[in-house]
């Protein structure tokens, strides 16, 4: 039996607590294991796809602490109407609480946004501003696994901040898409690294910059990524990876042009 983590109080970023997207949850035995089932404050089941079953942070927190052992914790639901995406790194911490090698680069990349230790004490959950082409569930990496969601799922929230992470949710639109691309291609390109990086690990040569950015824009457009996320991704690649970064307005023109290709 997994013992619930019951803190004296749960603190979370204002970006999250100001939204009425909160539920209670309880460990329930299922198929030889346990799962986290969401509940409303009236004791009925909640749904991660029905906003009518969600409520405020204050209401959920108050109910959780009044109910004692009736519930195991509280959770935040990701919705298509909010700007958030979440990364769930399962079994990424060793017995000393250190990040395992397979997850270290991801943790470093998202170190400036809100990150907390999961209820099990063995994983991490990361919140960031940005949207995904779709949800990704249970991709095995090393001896752990990664999940990514931006709608239709919820994260159990513990308030156990990891390594003094800020109580702020930061913009990582480009990093989210890069990680999404890597996970999407993991079965075809195991160990290949972040798919939006140049294949040789170096900078994109000046003569190939435009065609490379156009190609990436087309790939993201095909995955139905929104204009804002495509532009954010291309701007980061332009600034960090291009041999001679071009003007920001060039990126905007590429994104605008990609609408025509997507429509075709």
Rounded CA separation 184/190 (Å): 11
Domain residue limits at 59: 14-184
- Distance between the two ends of the chain, CA-based, in angstroms? 55
Looking at every residue in the chain, the average pLDDT score rounds to 85
Q: From the CB of residue 39, how many other CB atoms can be counted at a distance below 10 Å?
A: 23
Same domain for 172 and 121: yes
Rounded CA separation 78/169 (Å): 14
Query: What would the two tokens of residue 25 be?
Result: 């949850």
Same domain for 172 and 252: no
Dump pLDDT digits (tens) for 144-155. Answer: 999 999 999 999
For range 118-129, the mean pLDDT: 96
Is residue 190 in some structural domain?
no
Rounded CA separation 157/178 (Å): 25
For range 88-97, the mean pLDDT: 95
For range 90-100, the mean pLDDT: 95
CA gyration radius, the chain: 20
CATH number of the domain enclosing 106: 3.30.2250
Name the one residue in this structure whose structure tokens are 């919820």.
Answer: 154
Is residue 120 in some structural domain?
yes
Boundary (domain end) residue, out of 128, 151, 184: 184
Q: What contacts 31, CB < 8 A, 6 or more positions away?
A: none
For range 176-193, the mean pLDDT: 63
Same domain for 222 and 166: no
Same domain for 118 and 20: yes
Name the one residue in this structure whose structure tokens are 């940005």.
Answer: 130
Q: How many domains does the chain have?
A: 2
For the cut 70, the answer to whether the pLDDT of residue 129 exceeds it is: yes
> According to the 3-state scheme, what is the secondary structure of 69-125?
HHCCEEEEEECCCCCEEEEEEECCECCCCCECHHHHHHHHHCCCCCEEECCCCCCEE
What ranges make up the beta strands (E) of the chain? 22-30, 33-39, 73-78, 84-90, 115-117, 124-129, 136-141, 144-149, 153-157
For the cut 50, the answer to whether the pLDDT of residue 46 exceeds it is: yes
Is residue 217 in some structural domain?
yes
Which pLDDT does position 30 carry in this prediction?
A: 84
Rounded CA separation 23/14 (Å): 16
Structure pTM? 0.75
Dump pLDDT digits (tens) for 8-43. Answer: 578 899 999 999 999 999 999 988 789 999 999 999
Same domain for 44 and 125: yes
Same domain for 224 and 123: no
Is residue 199 in some structural domain?
no
Same domain for 217 and 96: no
For range 57-68, the mean pLDDT: 90
For range 83-108, the mean pLDDT: 94
Query: What would the two tokens of residue 147 be?
Result: 């999940």
Same domain for 163 and 210: no
pLDDT band at 199 (very low <50, low <70, confident <90, very high): very low
Same domain for 171 and 48: yes
């Amino acid at each position: 039996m997994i013992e619930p983590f019951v803190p004296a109080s749960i603190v979370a970023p204002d970006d999250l607590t100001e939204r009425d997207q909160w539920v209670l949850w309880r460990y329930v035995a299922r198929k030889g294991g346990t799962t986290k089932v969401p509940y409303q404050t009236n004791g009925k089941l909640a749904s991660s796809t029905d906003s009518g079953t969600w409520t405020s942070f204050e209401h959920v927190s108050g109910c959780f602490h009044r109910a004692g052992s009736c519930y195991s914790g509280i959770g935040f639901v990701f919705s298509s109407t909010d700007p958030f995406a979440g990364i769930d790194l399962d079994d990424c911490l060793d017995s000393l609480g250190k990040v395992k090698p397979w997850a270290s680069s991801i943790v470093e990349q998202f170190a400036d946004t809100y990150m907390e230790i999961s209820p099990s004490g063995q994983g991490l959950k990361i919140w960031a501003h940005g949207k995904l082409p779709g949800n990704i569930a249970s991709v095995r990496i090393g001896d752990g696994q990664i999940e990514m969601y931006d709608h239709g799922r919820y994260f159990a929230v513990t308030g156990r901040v990891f390594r003094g992470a800020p109580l702020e949710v930061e913009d990582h639109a480009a990093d989210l898409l890069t990680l999404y691309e890597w996970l999407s291609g993991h079965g075809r390109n195991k160990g290949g690294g972040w798919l939006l990086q140049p294949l040789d690990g170096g900078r994109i040569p000046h003569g190939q910059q435009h065609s490379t950015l156009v190609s990436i824009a087309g790939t993201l457009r095909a995955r139905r990524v929104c204009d804002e996320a495509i532009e954010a991704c291309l701007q980061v690649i332009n600034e960090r990876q291009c041999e001679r970064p071009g003007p920001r307005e060039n990126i905007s023109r590429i994104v605008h042009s990609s609408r025509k290709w997507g429509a075709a």
